[in-house]
Structure 1
Amino acid sequence: MSGTLENESRRSFMKGAMTMIPAVSLGSGVSLTAAADTSPPDLGEYQPTFFDADEWRFIIAACDRLIPSTGKGPGALETNVPVFIDGQMEGKFGHATDWYMKGPFHEDVSPLFGYQSPLLPREVYRKGIAATRRYCEQTHGKDFPALDDQTRDQVLTQLESEEITFDDVSASQFFTFLLQNTKEGYFADPIHGGNKHMAAWKFIGFPGARASYREWVDQHDKTYPLGPVSLTGERG
């Protein structure tokens, strides 16, 4: 997804992406046994456990552009997507716990070869954020969060296409993780920190962990009348 997509196009993309991402994403190594928090934190008061203050401002600014708050549905900030990403950095995904992480590593190979870097995802984030902030200061004279929306979109697009190159981390790999985790945090069960009050599920009409909705499976083009249910039992 390009950072320059219009808000409505982004939302259509995100709704379509739901067909490819399970409600509880397995790609990040999240666990169904995670401790439930029935009272989601307010994003403005949340204290990140992995990101420092500058990194946290970057994550918030980037997520806000990947799934903006303007439009028909909720944005990444309303759904606590940054909280989800912070949690992932301290979990199995951030530490690549169940990944094969031994060399040799090769660039420009098929994705079928798997992840090709000695850096843990949490290290990719840390180095990627630092390098992107330096680029913004050198090129635009401002830190990433201080840029206007259009310029932030431009920077994200350049990361995705690797028009920007860094010495110690792949810009495109950093963007890939950032976009992947943003989508996961938007659609995953709230037990993992994002999708606050199942707002994203309500937006797309997804029933969540509701035990019985078989009678609706074959009723196409009809709005599901019952709200979603989370793994903690929260009802929408």
Structure 2
Amino acid sequence: MVEKNKENPDSVSRRSFLRNAGLTVGGLVVGGSIGSLFPRNKNDGTTKVTETTKSEDLNQALMYFTKEQFLVIQAATERIFPEDDHGPGAKSLGVAYFIDHQLAGYWGFNGREYMQAPFYPGEKVQGYQGRLKRREVFDIAIREIQNHSNAVYKKNFTDLTGEEQDAILTDFEGDKVNITTISPSGFFQMLRSVTLEGAYSDPLYGGNLNMNGWKMKNYPGSQMAYADIIDKDFKKIAPQSLKSHMNQ
């Protein structure tokens, strides 16, 4: 930081310049480039937000999954990101809705990736190499989760105990399920990654319900600016979502 020049009292610090010039606009992670397009939230960040805030999330509707598929993914993600003393799990955070919406869009269609033949077996470190789109991988994997669950326990995955569900997912993680169309471990890694994304993404995309994922981390979310607090001591501020900026 460049401090004020002691020999010239009228000179300004770099921090003051940024604040006065309005160049501190921008959020964190998701909110950076998009956030500057919306008017600033009137909430100055000091309003207390409680865990019991009623959800105004209108994204809790299925766009791709069938009801059965949704329930399987909801149960699986809850085992990956379970509720505990630190806060809610994947189910309460709406992670399965986040995944459903991602599969309905570009991510599910691999819309921004090269998907033309020829296809060759790749190394594990290269990630997924194949002709199947992510939505097709999920369709196959969910069916195989049910098949493996019925083969081992004679029950559907959603009817298993938590420990039994863990065992099924561990078999997928360890490539102990005989599937020729997809990599079981590749699917598990994909599911784990998108579960964490859904827990901590901006609620605009369907997960992180009521910003409770951010609240567990004391993460401020998509703030429009920090001009009001940049010269003040560190303090905890209530998180903001891109949705709140759009509603102003």
TM over 0.5: yes
In structure 2, do the counterparts of structure 1 residues 80 and 195 end up closer, same or farther at CA, with 3 Å as the change threshold?
A: same
**Which amino acid in 2 is paired with 1:226?**
I
What is aligned with 2:243? 232
In structure 2, do the counterparts of structure 1 residues 211 and 162 end up closer, same or farther at CA, with 3 Å as the change threshold?
A: same
Contact 1:23/1:187 (CA < 8 Å) preserved in 2? no
Shift of 1:140: 1.0
Shift of 1:115: 3.0
Contact 2:75/2:91 (CA < 8 Å) preserved in 1? no
Shift of 1:88: 0.6
Shift of 1:103: 2.8
Contact 2:95/2:199 (CA < 8 Å) preserved in 1? yes
Structure with greater Cα Rg: 2
Q: Distance in 2 between matches of 1:165 and 1:99?
A: 28
Give secondary structure in 1 for the equivalent of 2:73.
helix
Shift of 1:23: 4.1
Task: State the aligned residue count.
Answer: 198
Partner of residue 213 from structure 2, selected from 192, 196, 200? 200
Shift of 1:108: 4.7
**Which amino acid in 1 is paired with 2:110?**
A
Contact 1:185/1:195 (CA < 8 Å) preserved in 2? yes
Shift of 1:72: 1.4
The answer on 1:70 being equivalent to 2:84 is: yes
TM-score normalised by structure 2 residue count:
0.71
Partner of residue 118 from structure 2, selected from 104, 125, 130? 104
TM-score normalised by structure 1 residue count:
0.74
Q: Distance in 1 between matches of 2:184 and 2:158?
A: 18
Residue ranges of structure 2 left out of the alignment (5+ in a row): 1-27, 38-54
Percent identity of paired positions between Structure 1 and Structure 2:
30
Residue ranges of structure 1 left out of the alignment (5+ in a row): 1-21, 26-30
* Mean Cα deviation higher: 144-153 or 67-76: 67-76
Q: Distance in 1 between matches of 2:92 and 2:113?
A: 31
In structure 2, do the counterparts of structure 1 residues 102 and 195 end up closer, same or farther at CA, with 3 Å as the change threshold?
A: same
CA RMSD of aligned residues (A): 2.9
Structure scoring higher RCO (CA < 8 A, sep ≥ 6) equals 2
Q: Distance in 1 between matches of 2:135 and 2:61?
A: 17
CA deviation string 1:143-185 (max 9, x = no partner): 1111110111111111112121312222112212211111111
**Which amino acid in 2 is paired with 1:57?**
L
Contact 2:128/2:186 (CA < 8 Å) preserved in 1? no
In structure 2, do the counterparts of structure 1 residues 164 and 23 end up closer, same or farther at CA, with 3 Å as the change threshold?
A: farther
